[in-house]
Amino acid sequence: MVSSETQKRAISLGKALVQELGLETGVDTLSRWMAHYVAEQIALAENAISDEKSEAEQRCFETVLKLWERRSSLPNDRYPFKSFEPIFKALNRIDPDNSQSYYFDDSRFQATANNNDTSKSQTNEVQSWINIALGIDRAARVLIDFALKQAACNAADEKTIAWIENATGISVDDENDISVIIRLVGETREDDHDEETLEKMRQGFRSRIEKLDAFIEFSSLLRTELVKELEN
């Protein structure tokens, strides 16, 4: 049996789902049926008395939970976090803390640069350009990551925050979307973090700034080379 507090959040989440699915005329039949069914279970849970109330609340909780766990499959694009979908698809690949390069395979680049058939001067020149390419690769992820976080902040409206508040702790299954949104939108709120966490965040910002500083230098070097190519 879940706690009364969790059941209350489940009822709030159920009401939000009913509102999202819609009961008004014109909404597709499946959405209206689901909305009616969840609304019925909520009404029973709220109005039951004595021993029946506990059972009604448990049924309501299980109904809302089953529907919530299938939120990404709700009809007519009623997925609560639909505006975040393109962000979700890009985030894992461009994580600046991911040691694997975004565009390039580091090991293959290193093997090319250290080819035994290449002279030392050629090797140094090749490796120099490879280092530039890898540095730009790392900086590109920083830039894209920052831009996506700004996109997430703009995508998170009051409805999104309400979904998260009501859903947190309801289910332990497949909450990747919620955890990602919390990470993107919530990490800027310093009052939610202790000093140790804040220091780790500061170190992460410093690391990203260093990569961007290197990117500026690489950009200047590449610009110079391109101007030379143009003149030639």
Q: Does pLDDT of 228 surpass 90? A: yes
Q: Are 117 and 49 in contact (CB under 8 A)?
A: no
**Residue 145 and residue 152: Cα distance in Å, rounded?**
10
Q: Are 132 and 218 in contact (CB under 8 A)?
A: yes
Q: Does pLDDT of 226 surpass 50? A: yes
Q: Of 45-54, 120-129, 203-212, where does mean pLDDT reach its minimum?
A: 120-129
Residue 178: what pLDDT?
A: 80
Q: Are 10 and 61 in contact (CB under 8 A)?
A: yes
Q: What is the pLDDT of residues 189-224, one digit of tens each?
A: 445 567 888 888 889 889 888 888 988 988 898 999
Q: Does pLDDT of 60 surpass 80? A: yes
Q: What is the pLDDT of residues 2-41, one digit of tens each?
A: 677 788 888 888 888 888 887 665 667 777 888 888 899 9
CA proximity to 141, closest of 217, 84, 215 = 215
Q: Helices in 70-103 by DSSP H: which ranges?
A: 85-94
Residue 65: what pLDDT?
A: 86
**Residue 221 and residue 9: Cα distance in Å, rounded?**
56
Mean pLDDT for all residues in the chain: 78
b/e 23-60 (16+ beta carbons within 10 angstroms → b): eeeebeeebbebbeebbebbebbeebeeeeeeebbeeb
Report the 10 Å Cβ neighbour count for 119.
8
For the chain, what percent of residues have pLDDT higher than 90?
A: 5
Q: Does pLDDT of 171 surpass 50? A: yes
Residue 32: what pLDDT?
A: 80
Q: Which residue has the higher pLDDT, 1 or 207?
A: 207
Q: Of 30-34, 48-52, 62-66, 215-219, where does mean pLDDT reach its minimum?
A: 30-34
Q: Of 36-45, 101-110, 143-152, 220-229, where does mean pLDDT reach its minimum?
A: 101-110
pLDDT band at 117 (very low <50, low <70, confident <90, very high): low
pLDDT band at 83 (very low <50, low <70, confident <90, very high): confident
Residue 190: what pLDDT?
A: 47
Region 48-56: mean pLDDT is 86
Structure tokens at 210: 């260093």
Write the single-letter amino acid at 224: T
Q: Does pLDDT of 92 surpass 80? A: no
Q: Helices in the chain by DSSP H: which ranges?
A: 4-21, 29-47, 50-69, 85-94, 106-113, 120-155, 158-167, 176-186, 195-231
Region 153-171: mean pLDDT is 80
Structure tokens at 145: 């990551």
Tell me the CB-side half-sphere exposure of residue 34, using CA atoms within 13 A.
Answer: 25
